[in-house]
Amino acid sequence: MIPFLIYVAIFVGAFFAVKTIANRTAIADYGSLKTVTFGDESAVTPNRAASIISVLTIFVLWGMFTGSSLLPGFLHAPGPFQGTGTFEYTATADGDSDSATVTVVVHPIDVDTEAPEVAPGDGWAKDDSVAIGMWRSGLIRVDRNDELGRDAGAVVTAINGTPVEPGDTVNVGFGTVTISDKGTPNIVPAKGWQMEPIWLPSPEAVVTRIGEIASAGFRGSTLWEHLGYSLFRVVVGFFFGALVGIPLGYAMGLSNWFRGWFDPIVEFMRPVPPLALIPLVIIWAGIGETGKIILLFLAALWIMAIAARSGVSGVKISKVHAAYSLGASKAQIMRHVIVPNSLPEIFTGARVAMGVCWGTVVAAELVAAEQGAGMMIMVASKFQNTDIVIMGIILIGIIGFGIDMLMRWAERLLVPWKGKG
């Protein structure tokens, strides 16, 4: 919740700051001179400042809550306690009470640290020490070295002078101490707001891991081979999905019979997630490359069919009538009217289908894959190698973003009439 609130605050603050600066340095252009722009998509262009701030905000928040060395210390969220802390417990046995001190050393989880030696003290309750890793907790049998232990009826009755019973929790400054049901103190050092590396590693840890896998490989294949296999599967699956889906969509948009025949099938299969098809794909196509490509083919097929059908349905009938009045044949209407006017919808569907295929490649590579970004993610998740998981997600996102930019460029080049009536 705290990261979300910080994100919202940065969003609102950046909006007003950029808007104020833009108003002071505004340059009159075609869009700014329009009297009515709300609802006019042609007047909406990406705010580059917002894009840059958005990306930087994500990385700043990531660094803040992982204690990244790439950020100055004052930007770090409060981290877990590290160092030495003490608390005093009071034990009572047969009406006789005595107090002792417990020294707690909280150390980084990747550094083995022994509990320090402490003098036992003079009373029957002896001083203790314990070493606990950051973000961890530990039970300590304070009576293990006491002269009067549990066998003699000794129980912990107070922590730092605060009376306690089983289930009670006391704040001891560097953390909390909770008395278990059996009367054993459970020490929980303060965890702060930062994430434990096993859940969210720092940006530099992910970059380091990318360098290691790029040079040494992962499970017998280089990083580029893994990404190449994933890209190959996605492109081939998408290609065949578009190759079948676009003609199917045209047929559904132009023929009553085709629409009546295929519409129930398309509308039934469209909401079925590709993950649900994995068992059938394994049974029908085995665990080789064919099964993975079929899964991606099915992920793209229905989207492309619906996009093509919507493109045909969106053609203005006035254009069709105008073509007929000029003596155009059906083939000419198809080539010069329907296809050009349906291409914007098809390109939009292609971008959506490509995104779905990239999202499905992880599931596709669950089918006994030996190479692929999805395979890396799944294997790493089993061993809680979160840095590899995040690395795979980032690389898939970068490649997917690049493909989307390429498709946008192709759309601008091939469909320059989009949005112009």
Distance separating alpha carbons of residues 26 and 14, to the nearest angstrom = 17
**Which of 75, 108, 132 is the C-terminal boundary of a domain?**
75
Same domain for 172 and 68: no
The answer on 90 and 62 residing in a single domain is no
Distance CA 116, CA 103 (A): 8
Is residue 199 assigned to a domain?
no
Residue 252 shares a structural domain with residue 109: no
Same domain as 50, residue 92? no
Which tokens is 18 given? 């950029």
pLDDT at residue 28 in the model: 54
Same domain, 228 and 93: no
Nearest to 369 by CA among 378, 382, 357, 359: 378
Question: Which CATH number is 287's domain given?
Answer: 1.10.3720.10
- Quote the pLDDT of residue 419: 66
Domain boundary among 40, 75, 110: 75
Residue 316's pLDDT is 83
Per the domain annotation, does 130 fall within a domain? yes
Say whether both 144 and 285 belong to one domain. no
**pLDDT single digits (tens) 98-128:** 999 999 999 998 888 898 888 888 888 899 9
- Tokens 């020294």 correspond to 103
Residues 265 and 408 in one domain: yes
Query: Is-contact 295 367, C-beta < 8 A?
Result: yes
Domain-embedded: residue 197: no
Q: Are residues 344 and 365 in the same domain?
A: yes
User: What per-residue confidence (pLDDT) applies to 185?
Assistant: 94
What is the reported pLDDT for 29?
55
Q: What is the pLDDT of residue 359?
A: 82
Q: Which two tokens stand for residue 276?
A: 């649900």
What's the token pair of residue 48? Answer: 């580059």
Same domain? 277 vs 322:
yes
Which backbone phi and psi does 315 adopt, to 5 degrees? -70, 130
The domain boundary residue, chosen from 75, 91, 114: 75
pLDDT tens digits, 132-190: 999 999 998 888 888 887 777 889 999 999 999 999 999 999 999 999 998 899 999 99
Note whether 182 and 238 are same-domain residues.
no
Report the domain count for the chain: 3
The Cα–Cα gap between 371 and 220 comes to 9
Look at residue 419 and tell me if it is in a domain.
no
Answer whether residue 175 is part of any domain.
Answer: yes
Q: State the greatest distance between any 2 C-alpha atoms of the chain, in Å, as a whole number.
A: 111
- Note whether 32 and 90 are same-domain residues: no
Those residues of the chain that have pLDDT short of 70 are 26-44, 367-368, 419-421
Structural domain for 404, as ranges: 204-414
Could you tell me if residue 420 is inside a domain?
no
Same domain as 174, residue 321:
no
Angle separating helix axes 386-414 and 373-382, nearest 10 degrees: 160
In a domain, 194, yes or no: no
Distance separating alpha carbons of residues 145 and 95, to the nearest angstrom = 20
Q: Is the residue at 377 inside a domain?
A: yes
